[in-house]
Amino acid sequence: MAIFSKTCEYGIKAVLFIAHTGVQGRKVGIKEIAAGIDSPEFFLAKILQDLSRKGIINSFKGPTGGFFIDEANLKRPLSDIVEAIDGDGLFRGCALGLKQCSEINPCPLHEEFKAIRTRIYDMLHTINIDQFNQELMSGLLSLKK
Amino acid sequence: MAIFSKTCEYGIKAVLFIAHTGVQGRKVGIKEIAAGIDSPEFFLAKILQDLSRKGIINSFKGPTGGFFIDEANLKRPLSDIVEAIDGDGLFRGCALGLKQCSEINPCPLHEEFKAIRTRIYDMLHTINIDQFNQELMSGLLSLKK
DNA sequence: ATAATAAAAGACAAATTTATCTTTTATTAT
DNA sequence: ATAATAAAAGATAAATTTGTCTTTTATTAT
């Protein structure tokens, strides 16, 4: 198992890709995004539609249309994307899937996972989308392979 | 998304349950385990067969048969179970699923996830199976609900 | 030896995730 | 107005995960 679902992996990569092309004030089409992050085009389209409907990314139809991310959305933490796709199970759920796991009714892993959950939570809430633009532009970071 | 797959959640809970009944030098049948951890019986059977085949837990057929965990296996770290079921993606894989993600070809989340991966790795390798027996026996920990 | 017991193995099915293709709608440029 | 473009929406399907049931094999007690 990976940390995120495939859907979420594609979603995050696509959002970072859109943000980074947006630095040039440029909208970008699904084909270019899919190629840029090495993901199945039609599947990614579905994911971006979903994020778009939820207002996390922005889009226009028609010629000169495409996806982009406005100022407000650029400031979003990564957790917004993760939550929209995978939910909050990663940083809120019980490691053993117990509905009623808590401080007073802990599962065996409760204490040891607490710190990790917090850590993941903090990270996803601290990082925001435009944070990587600089490094992405200069080719220091990879979104494919 | 949860941290572990359902299969892995059931697997871990079952192993802890078997270990804890084993304290009384007692083998335990699939029905009792499934009831004890609130999991689908036949599905769990498959999981335990797999762990048994891999030598991570022990079993005997026939009357007086059942599952148990021998001395050596009780000393195993939790990571052995997780790896046997979910693989090592959780503490080794790239957060964005990139095959070639590394220090020299990092994905955008590489640096920030490094610490978390290490943390999860350490935790799963530090905890061993019989570690919870005391608290499980005294009812301080929950394996169901 | 035989019947009873319990795990192992096999076969199948539902549910979910991942992926593909087609049609529709909104927008732009001519 | 019309044609071209690109996302949105709809429909379908493959693959994987999760779950269920039946048959076989090993072991024990009678």
- Residue A100: its chain B contacts at CB < 8 A? 142, 145
CB-proximal positions of chain C, under 7 Å: 4-11, 17-22, 25-29
Q: Tens place of pLDDT for every residue, chain B, 145 residues? A: 999 999 999 999 999 999 999 988 899 999 999 999 999 999 999 999 999 999 999 999 999 999 999 999 999 999 999 999 999 999 999 999 999 999 999 999 999 999 999 999 999 999 999 999 999 999 999 999 9
Contact B16 A93 (CB under 8 A): no
Q: Answer whether A144 sits within 8 Å of B101, measured CB to CB.
A: no
Helix axes B30-37, B6-22, angle to 10 degrees: 110
Q: Which two tokens mark B117?
A: 């991966």
Q: According to the model, what pLDDT value does residue B24 have? A: 86
Residues in chain B within 8 Å Cβ distance of A123: 112-113, 116
Q: pLDDT tens, A74-130? A: 999 999 999 999 999 999 999 999 999 999 999 999 999 999 999 999 999 999 999
Q: Mark yes or no for CB contact A143/B108 under 8 Å.
A: yes
Max Cα-Cα span within chain B = 58
For strand C, list residues 4-23 of chain A whose Cβ lies within 7 Å of it: 5-7, 10
Residue of B nearest to A38 (CA): B98
Residue B14 tokens, joined: 């079952």
Element (H, E) at A124: helix A110-126
Comparing CB atoms, the residue among A86, A106, A141 nearest residue B108 is A141
| Rg of chain B (C-alpha set) | 17
CB B68 within 8 A of CB B52: no
Residues 6+ apart with CB under 8 A from A22: A28, A68, A69, A74
- The pLDDT of residue B140 is 96
pLDDT for position A45: 98
> Which pLDDT score is estimated for A24?
87
Half-sphere exposure of A140 (CA within 13 A, CB side): 10
Residues of B in contact with A90 (CB under 8 A): 1-3
CA pair distance B5, B10, nearest whole angstrom: 9
Residue-by-residue DSSP string for chain B? --SS-HHHHHHHHHHHHHHHHHTTT--B-HHHHHHHHT--HHHHHHHHHHHHHTTSSEEE-STT-EEE--HHHHT-BHHHHHHHHH-SHHHHS-TT--TT-SSSS--TTHHHHHHHHHHHHHHHHH-BGGGGHHHHHTT-S-S--
> Which chain B residue's Cα is nearest to A136?
B108
Scanning every strand, the nucleotide with its C1' closest to B45's CA turns out to be C7
Q: Å between B45 CA and D23 C1'? A: 15
Copy the structure tokens of residue A39: 């993901």
Whether the Cβ atoms of residue A23 and residue A63 lie closer than 8 Å to each other = no
A6 chain-B contacts, CB cut-off 8 A: 97
Residue contact A135–B90, C-beta within 8 A: no
Contact B97/A6, CB-based, under 8 Å? yes
Contact B69, B58 (CB under 8 A): yes
How many angstroms is C1' of D18 away from CA of B137? 30
Q: DSSP of A32-98, one letter per residue? A: HHHHHHT--HHHHHHHHHHHHHTTSSEEE-STT-EEE--HHHHT-BHHHHHHHHH-SHHHHS-TT--
CB contact under 8 A, B108 and A135: yes
Question: Stated in angstroms, how far is A42 CA from C23 C1'?
Answer: 14
Average pLDDT over residues A49-77: 97
